[in-house]
Structure 1
Amino acid sequence: MNQQNENMMNLKPLCDKLIAGSRIDPQLYEKFHVKRGLRRSDGTGVIAGITKICNVHGYVVNEGEIDPIPGELIYRGYQINDLVSHAEQEGRFGFEETVYLLLLGDLPNRQELDAFTRHLSACRPLPENFVVDMILKAPSNNIMNKMARSVLALYSYDAECETKSIENELRTAISLVAKLPVIMASAYQVKRSHFDGESMIMHPLRPEENTAQTVLSLLRNDRQYTDAEAHLLDTLMTLHAEHGGNNSTFTCRVLTSSGTDAYSAYAAAIGALKGPRHGGANIKVMQMLDSFKENVKNWEDEGQVADHMRKILRKEAGDGSGLIYGMGHAVYTLSDPREVILKRKAMELAHGKDIEAEFRLLDTIERLTPEIFRDFKTSDKAICANVDMYSGLVYKMLGIPADLYTPMFAISRIAGWAAHRMEETITGKRIIRPAYKAIAKERAYVPLDDRD
């Protein structure tokens, strides 16, 4: 007998009471000038802190009006376009350099980068028996949950887990940047064996491989990958490494401000990223793409594509949400620099392959959306594609399973979380404690036997 059958209590009336007791009139948010979700009425975020780590720039305010501009993503003062293009021109990988920059504030020279990359490789192995004790013995159907649990478990393997010195914080951060890809790959192999009935293949680590190479090497049965594939994944990880005051980063900073340990803060950030409103958007794009592939006979016919888009907006097709996934962003208006870079590099690798047709279909959706939105929503608000429009299809092209789309986001964003945790530790010095307006009226206590 399972736990649900053992519990004979009818939860329906309790849920009805819970809902009634929790419902708040939306008009009260306006009455008390509450910024729901810490967002202004135009969708932009409320300023909750100051940072030197990242700037996400998508518009300028001119005499109270928002003027759209091409999007900019700036890591520690460096444009993301420059970081990616210079690594590309020099034929080298960029993620490790980006991690160094985000954590330490400056670009490394060649000797510093080589030493840092070797150190990451040395930190990559998991503790002895960790995979068996923490992953294999308690398999999870969701890789993000297993990653969060595994990060918390690493606390028990760290003799300095409660040491709050900046030296220990940096050591922990580097260790987790190195280990999280291995945790992800191990959790996936256990998942596919336990839940999917497939073979579990655990490869030993190769010290000479960098982060992107390690991911492809651990996930592929034959361990084979091309240099172009590794560089494309490296670029995507660089683009996902940091993005300012997003939900998971704020979560990490909130926990950090309380004085809790690093493992708790990073595990919480993983939990925040897991949410479909945050890290799971690229999966929604891929599901939307499947809807187009199934219902549009000629993917090259813009009229047919547009007709299906209108059906989605009318909630007659797709998942019923009325959303064109991958389009729109809270900050970017004319363009998302991450999407521009990823689309260019992905199209180059997809050229001549069967999957190129799917990229062209997404490109058509991207091009048609602003005009259809203007007609459908009668709004002139600027709208552009975001990085999620193409990231899922890039993962598919690289043979990375859908189970790992959001976990791949996490193993990249751990760099940004770590940078923000250390900045909060060094300069925050105050627990983050937002206020809530209480609207419940005071009531007189009724003795138990007198209650209805």
Structure 2
Amino acid sequence: MSEEFYVALINKMAEAVEKTNRIPSDYYGMYNVKRGLRNENGTGVLVGLTQVGSVHGYVVDAGEIVPDEGALIYRGMDLKDVVQGFQKEKRHGFEEVCYLLLFGELPTQSQLDEFKKLLGELRVLPKSFTENMILKNPSKDIMNKLQRSILVSYSYDNNPDDISVKNLLRQSLELIARFPTIVAYGYQAKRHYHDNKSLFIHSPVPELGTAENLLYMIRPDNKYTEKEAELLDLSLVIHAEHGGGNNSAFATHVVSSTGTDTYSAIATAVGSLKGPKHGGANLKVLNMIDNIKENISSWSDKVEIKDYLRKILRKDAFDNTGLIYGMGHAVYTLSDPRAVLLKGKAYELAVEKGREEEFALYENIENLSIEAFKELKGPDAVICANVDFYSGFVYDMLNIPHELYTPLFATARVCGWCAHRIEQVVSDNKIMRPAYKSVMDMREYVELAKR
């Protein structure tokens, strides 16, 4: 079969498949389907309970959503207080947050030291894993490499299917520790085999935390500044958990409810996060900012910036979707606490990197987007910058390659996924099985010769 004929055949078959799989949009309203597991007022459908984390963005009064300042809660503690606590003592906080999410309590100094030491010793990948799994099978997409590496970890585990809490915790700690190493090595393999660059495989340093090890392993010279490590650590902290209803955490709950192994559940979460609607939004922000830069003559001209934002909202500019990426959130209304925390530290790094003018552009776009949105939707419309608005800029200042943005998200979120998995197995042994309404009419089978 020629390549030309094969492509033509697939195109023809795809047209038929698309036609037979398209459900009329009005059917969803007719059958009261909660599309996206959302109620009519935009709130999420309640499908479970959790103690791991929660997201607050509004209050509901008489069935109506009333905007409120955003808050992200880790195990009953406001994330802002947690961040303020470790930053006041000039410490990195990701390992402390991982401990909190897994064990439900903040660690004492000795517990934190022991936890850090344990993670440090677990960061090295199993014997022959790097050569056989990562270097011999490089992928152009690091998330794909991460997902495959998680699944193959099953083969390196002497007790992979045991779902006792003791075993779940062991597996969780090993995955949390090894994610940075897998991500860094997956990036180096991609860089070497697909981009024709030199190969650098740096062993993780047990004494370094997650943020420092990431910078150490992805950079050829291992060098980084304390400000860089501090900001990456903050990014990991604010991405570590986001309630049980976000897509990847919910996927973890769904798959874990079947009683399957940890590697299958966490690989599912990575597959969810790989989707651009979930984990890749900050790249969209960067692309949009680049487009804005190309179409305005001055980064400081607010009138010109706002005019272009209006064009974007009218679907006359950028990708013609009418979306200003990084603005708005499914839950947060008046503010996204993650964006607030990241923005402050982003300015400090911008000063260190000499990029204050670019930071000011981001800030102008944020403020003017809110104004333009109100002009379009009405004065009562609310929208705020979400975490993706500044995270891409932060990673760019850290000189982190674009292909690592979502894997870094996964490196942060794996501790939240593991916490949700353990909670699901311990608290709710009922398999998740929601309903789907069939809207296909019954038909008679037709014999082959009569079709």
Interval containing the TM-score (normalised by the shorter chain): over 0.9
**1:392 maps onto 2:371 in alignment:** no
Structure 2 equivalent of residue 42 of structure 1: 41
Matches within 5 A, 1:102-121: 102-121=101-120
Q: Is the 8 A contact 2:279 2:406 kept in 1?
A: yes
Shift, 1:71, TM fit: 0.3
Partners of 1:221 and 1:135 in 2: CA distance: 18
User: What is the TM-score when the length of structure 2 is the normalising length?
Assistant: 0.97
Query: Which amino acid counterpart does residue 390 of structure 1 have in structure 2?
Result: Y
Query: Which amino acid counterpart does residue 215 of structure 1 have in structure 2?
Result: L
Partners of 1:415 and 1:45 in 2: CA distance: 23
Matches within 5 A, 1:52-451: 52-244=51-243, 245-351=245-351, 353-378=353-378, 380-451=380-451
Q: Is the 8 A contact 2:353 2:397 kept in 1?
A: no
Shift, 1:5, TM fit: 5.7
User: What is the TM-score when the length of structure 1 is the normalising length?
Assistant: 0.97
Structure 2 equivalent of residue 28 of structure 1: 27
Partners of 2:81 and 2:30 in 1: CA distance: 46
Partners of 2:372 and 2:12 in 1: CA distance: 44
Partners of 1:5 and 1:170 in 2: CA distance: 52
Partners of 1:64 and 1:158 in 2: CA distance: 49
Partners of 2:7 and 2:386 in 1: CA distance: 47
Query: Which amino acid counterpart does residue 431 of structure 2 have in structure 1?
Result: I
Shift, 1:351, TM fit: 1.7
SS in 2 for 1:127: coil
Shift, 1:63, TM fit: 2.2
Query: Which amino acid counterpart does residue 253 of structure 2 have in structure 1?
Result: R
Describe the superposition over 1:288-341 as per-residue Cα deviations: whole angstroms up to 9, x where unpaired: 110111111111110111111112122222122221000000110000000000
Partners of 1:430 and 1:139 in 2: CA distance: 38
Partners of 1:62 and 1:397 in 2: CA distance: 42
SS in 1 for 2:57: strand
SS in 2 for 1:73: strand
Query: Which amino acid counterpart does residue 47 of structure 2 have in structure 1?
Result: A
Query: Which amino acid counterpart does residue 84 of structure 1 have in structure 2?
Result: V
Describe the superposition over 1:200-256 as per-residue Cα deviations: whole angstroms up to 9, x where unpaired: 111122111111100011111111111121111111100000001100111111110
Partners of 2:253 and 2:375 in 1: CA distance: 41
Query: Which is worse superposed, 226-235 or 173-182?
Result: 226-235
Structure 2 equivalent of residue 10 of structure 1: 9
In structure 2, relative to structure 1, the CA distance for the partners of 1:106 and 1:170 (3 Å cut) is same
Query: RMSD over aligned Cα, in angstroms?
Result: 1.4
Identity %: 50
Query: Which amino acid counterpart does residue 402 of structure 1 have in structure 2?
Result: H
Query: Which is worse superposed, 196-205 or 121-130?
Result: 196-205
Shift, 1:48, TM fit: 0.9
SS in 2 for 1:432: coil
SS in 2 for 1:17: helix
